[in-house]
Chains A and B, each alone.
Chain A
Amino acid sequence: MKKLAIPGVVYLLVLFYLPFFIVVLYSLGFPNFTLEFYAEVLDPWFFKFFLNSLLIATITTVLCLVLAYPVAYYIALRAQRWKNLLLVLIILPFWISLLLRTYAVMVILTPLGLMFTFTAVVIGMVYDYFPFMVLPLYASLEKLKRSQLEASYILGASPLKTFLKVTLPHSKPGIVAGIMLVFIPSFGEFVVPSMLGGTYVTIGTLTWDLFLRYHDWWRGSAISVIYMAIVLIAIAIYMKKAGRIEL
């Protein structure tokens, strides 16, 4: 088993940790050493792009959760023989490239006059990340037995109380996983905001522009490192809050 793990570890080292190390090196002013890029990037003018991303990611996550929960509930507990078909329909859009899917959203939004707005970015993001919320919710709700709901009714709980006291706590691991799977990538997302958002700048589009348009490796790297730090801290706090949940 030990030997079999080597290719994976090497892969991770060469393609993830090495580039990450290079990014950190550049953020520190490679080939010189300076903290000025961090100072610049943490300037309020830059920092508002972090807040933009935070806002987008938060709204996307909340909307995905609210929209995905009933869908996951239905598939897990009610759909019966349609279960697999519905799951395939949820996953199906993934077989098409993200770029094409986003173009498809453009086609829909243009006649509605919504292009290049904040709303457009949110619609595109929710559309893209929706399955990431449905699947973990489905996985946790699927383990909920119908008899547990019935036991709750018989013990005197109305359907609403049963939802709050049995279904919701039961699906907590799915909610925790779904929030992470949607929040983290949508926080750094750049394809959707750059295609649908126009002048709406997020941390993702900013990094993209710095690296690929202005070839500013140092500021781009500094922003990337701060972005990663924020995400890591957020996850750490979140995992602690979400408790010792067996995912």
Chain B
Amino acid sequence: MVEFAVELDGVSKRYGDFEAVKEVSFSIRKGEFFSILGPSGSGKTTLLRLIAGLIFPDKGTIKLMGKDCTFLPPYKRNIGMVFQDLALFPHLNVFDNVAYGLRIRKMPENEIKRKVYECLEIVNLDARVFSKRKINQLSGGQQQRVAIARALAIEPSVLLLDEPLGSLDLKLRQHMMLELKRIQRDVKITFVYVTHDQSEALIMSDKVAVINHGKIEQIGTPMEIYEKPATKFVAEFIGEMNFIPAEICEDCAISELGRIKVSGLNGSKKVLIGIRPERIKVGAIGDNTFRGKIEEIVYLGGFVKLDVNVNGVRIKCITSANGFREGETIEIGWRAEEAIIFEA
């Protein structure tokens, strides 16, 4: 049995002077929902296209199901892909779109019918209603489902998804996220999902790889990525983070806020202390308490976001408490172990 569906080893790709992907290595376990998360231009789509075989790397190897596929053309890889623009065939109806890969494989017509119906059922489209529909007669969400069914029909070893939810409105997007997760659990196929949207990555994935400037910043479970960001970039890109420049001095750090207690000090002198807004409590709580003036209040329904000025440093905190006024002086605080220390 092969353990990994996708293995990248030292993969690099450059376009002229631009290094799109630099020395990337990672392995994706079979059956995993794996997300590649990064800002636009970070190289995430290039990575996906390398795995698909639509482009070939300059360096490194790519294995699919344990087999070296680095330079195998895409039509010999047996993978599925859902494109950002879906790339459905407008000259074919829903049934023929889903059947496309099966007809290429010369599957008998009665088996094709069974498989197409099965795949349309997986994506929650009634085959009897939709089979004969033309692509341009479908809504955005329905087109999405057809694109997924078409990719699943060939029983790919890996399904690659390139920001497929980008064009949907918020409500539909949230719905499709849960649908995708359900589909992935049902079909048990490895999903590699590219997105710039952190909530998509956190909600759906078993594992997330954060990429920036063509390099992997961190790979981990959504919780690891959020709770223990490895770099300042990851901390900033996923969720919100207050950064307080400080200098380590024996058992604590000196900053513009004053002395900050931190746990697990490392050797470096200049550091950035990161603390999530929702980990900062209002009131004299924890090891670090500071007084500050509320500069701005943003009402978020269930929460309020406060912008507190502590000795000239703006600290954002999120609380479910209510009844604050702008200009009011309050105390905020956090426990030493909630802070994350980055080298400056």
Q: Which residues of A line the B interface, CB within 8 A?
A: 145, 147-148, 150-158, 161, 165-166, 169-170, 172
Flag whether B324 is at the interface (Cβ < 8 A): no
Flag whether B150 is at the interface (Cβ < 8 A): yes
Q: B54's contact among A145, A150, A161, by CB below 8 Å, is which?
A: A150
Flag whether B78 is at the interface (Cβ < 8 A): yes
Q: What are 19 sample pairs from A and B whose C-beta atoms fall under 8 A apart?
A: A145-B87, A147-B87, A148-B89, A150-B52, A150-B54, A150-B74, A150-B81, A150-B83, A150-B87, A151-B83, A151-B88, A153-B75, A154-B54, A154-B80, A157-B100, A161-B104, A165-B100, A169-B91, A170-B90
Extra inter-chain contacts (6) besides given A156-B78, A157-B100, A158-B73, CB under 8 Å = A150-B81, A151-B87, A151-B88, A154-B54, A154-B75, A165-B104
The winner among A147, A154, A157 for most chain B CB atoms within 10 A is A154
Category for how many chain B residues contact A: 20 to 34
**Closest partner residue, chain B, to A168 (CB atom):** B91
* Residues in chain A near residue B151, CB distance under 8 A: 154-155
Tell me the chain B residues, 142-196 only, with Cβ under 8 Å from chain A. 150-151, 154
CA distance A34 to B88 in the complex (A): 60
CA distance A148 to B100 in the complex (A): 12
B74 touches A153 (CB 8 A): yes
With A145-B87, A147-B85, A170-B91 as known contacts, state yes or no: A154 contacts B74, CB within 8 Å.
Answer: yes
B104 touches A154 (CB 8 A): no
Measured CB to CB, the closest approach of chain B to A139, in angstroms, equals 15
CA distance A170 to B105 in the complex (A): 21
Measured CB to CB, the closest approach of chain A to B5, in angstroms, equals 16
CA distance A45 to B87 in the complex (A): 56
**Closest partner residue, chain A, to B162 (CB atom):** A147
The winner among B52, B54, B74, B154 for most chain A CB atoms within 10 A is B74
CA distance A73 to B75 in the complex (A): 21
Flag whether B77 is at the interface (Cβ < 8 A): yes
Measured CB to CB, the closest approach of chain A to B339, in angstroms, equals 45
**Closest partner residue, chain B, to A150 (CB atom):** B54
Measured CB to CB, the closest approach of chain B to A230, in angstroms, equals 31
